[in-house]
Structure 1
Amino acid sequence: MNIVIIGAGQIGLHLARSLSGAAHDIVVIESNEKLADSCSNEIDGRVIHGTGTSVELLLDAGVSEADLIFALTSHDATNLVACEISKKLGAKKAICRVSPQLVREEWIFDYRANFSLDHIFSSERLSAIEISKHIRNPDGIAIQEIARGRIEIQQVRIPDHSNACGKSLIELNLPERVRVAAIQRAEKSFIPTAEEIIQANDQVTLFGDPSKLSKTASSLRSKNEKEKSTNIVILGGGEYGISLAQMISSWGCQIRIFEKDQDLAEQLAEELAGTATVIHADATSLNELREEQIGEADFFISTTQSDEDNVMTCLQAHNLGTKNCLPLIHRTDYANSVNQSKSKLGIKEAIIPRETVRRELMRFITSDKYHVVKKIPAGEIIETTIREKSKVAGKKIEEIALPAGSIFIALIKGIHAKVASANDVIDVGDTVFSIVSEKAKKAFLKLVAR
């Protein structure tokens, strides 16, 4: 593939390294001369010193024949403009990094349509999703956010004491906009019918509205007794910390955020009023951690820009009694060292933003007709944009004879996302998310992704 990467900072360089030498033609554009020189010494590809919004420079980089453009600088305006110009010059696909604030505004203004974007993401939000998987699932089973964050997929293991055991899917009386997509039973994974009976140790894949999915998953895991509220402490009120707090605010958790900058702490307290307690204090101080009884927290998550502070505060929290400590680590070499010794250090997992982003972006380097969002036991979560040649274009979902082993789970129309239902019409330009088994994949793609 012909790939152009705009921005050779932490994220851009990490992606370029991953793609380098993998039979791709890579061109990197970087405005900082030192970063450009450093990048040219590390990758097997061409590096151009200059701005990614220059038409002349973009043409020189070959965007008119590019299969993929990754705009990965830390500036929203640069990335948005670079993507739009690249698409107008002939690039097939444009992937744009933006700030969390812009992602939150996407439901007010359709950046994708107005800037010719094929995908938009925030590294802070992706990291928050990665952290949330460890908080939400005691079994460590996958959570995946799709459809611009409006729909979530979660896998739940059914214990033998669950009230769901022995009931059919119809009898579960699931909330509106929450459904079962797949079941893994022992070595067998399948997409169930409404009459399927839930059994102990089943791994059930749910999808639906995130606010409703959390309660549904909890009810399937336990009996009717009320669950203890999870106590979560976040160090750092920057974009990583606030993205995480906003993501988990509907889960019924007790959230405390430490922020040492007074102005930022006051701003956070206003933004998160009613959902989190903001503490203006320096949590790198052991005395502060003791005073706030951090040892009683279920999770301590450090999200500052300092890897050293993140690791050391997690060690202190663990020594005080916190059960689960997760530091954000920006340097990959540090993170690898921490993860190799995490059991000794009392750390559950080190979260690496640049690696989280790399995994997200690598899924686009497959096909221009569909993307594999995630592999799950029942198959793959596949994202497809409907084209004119698609056999499902213009049809209601109930009219579409999907291959056995496949199911539509979510539908995006413009800026609106919803759980797919029988009466929904799939139009050209819509984005559809589906779960597809390996056996059904060929027939499904032939039907949908043309």
Structure 2
Amino acid sequence: MVLNAESQFRDTNYSTSESAVNSPRHRWYVIKEAFSFELLEAALNESSCDTKDRIIDPFCGSGTIPLAGTVKKHSTIGIEVNPFLAFVSRAKLLQCRPKTLEKYVPLVTKGIRASHISPLEKFSTFSEDGGSSKWLFNKEVLRSYEGGWLKTTDLAAPARSLLRLALVGAAMDCCNGVQDGKCLRYRKDWKSLKLGKSQFLEHFLRRMAYISEDLHSAPIEQNGSKVYLGDARQILKEKQNYKFKLCLTSPPYLNSFDYSDVYRPELFLIKAITKQEQLRALRQKTLRSHVQAKWPNPEKSTFGASYKSMIQQLADRTQVMWNKRLPIMVQAYFEDIENVLTQLRAKALAEASLWMVISTSAYAGIEIPVDLIIAEIGEQVGWKVREVALIRYLRSSGQHIQKQAENANGNSNRLRESIVMLQAGPVASRK
């Protein structure tokens, strides 16, 4: 399998959400791990999709593909295992009369001003009362949030969800920590900022203003698009009748990030998770791309020549790894990817395309060519490989980026992001 290092997508930033940060609806809650709308545009054009063709994204995150696909009049199916991200994805697909939404803002504002004791005040590191030397939210922020949340309880679904999305966004705007890769990093001046009710209310009203603006200027038609909450491996097995023309997705990278932990504050804020046992149960449903959960050991290991060469080198370096379970994690990850690719192949129309945005990885100085391995797995389960197209080489840390490591020979592994492009039918020769 060969990487196309001079692909048309190289250095396009298609794997980032930078161009969509201020886009209608997407800006309601921005997740930096999302990719660009332009990538969907390119995939639609190259896959010859028209509006009758269904799009699917089994790892839809904050809803880039369900939203962009629906805006382009396609019935789009998203699957997301994280309840908070599924909530965000679903909210971006909602349509509500702006005037209906606006009439509830004073009600929620009243709740914010009145405040209410939060169940999170003494829980873990959520507030000072939890007993930690650092805490995520000042008590005034948590109580303002809870007061506003309670006022939404009896409202109709579209308005309730949109108001709650703005409340969560305002809470995170007033969080003493900011997301940085796989964890929250405390602001340098978090104590002196003394974030409280006035800042929370300001952020809530600002967020409500552009939600209302987008509902008016960028209305969305309901065309059968859906976002399912659950494990993609299980949902794909259950939904037998969802044939698709295009799958554009980006599964969790093989970078040891536990996204149930990354979005832990939001999960507790929306009350999807209320205790640690539920968080552990959620981890069990995630793709095996991290070592923060104890899963059954993988059973398969026949993932092609690239995998076979890599896994032996990795096993030989176990003693210098920060976690000796990493080789098992890598094997389990590709077993899960094979599961997803197999189920997608069964639901693919004859001319379907699958584009998967992925990053390579490195542990103990051993490069893991994730893109090439996935391409070989795709061939094994019935896909045809059109191309493995380089998007960019990676230089710093983050969800899309792992710290570069020196390999056993002292040379630097250049990690990269690529698109693995697969087709159900024959691959036409390219000029």
**Bigger fraction of residues in helix:** 2
Q: TM-score range by the shorter chain?
A: under 0.3
TM-score by length of 1: 0.22
When normalised by structure 2's length, the TM-score is: 0.23
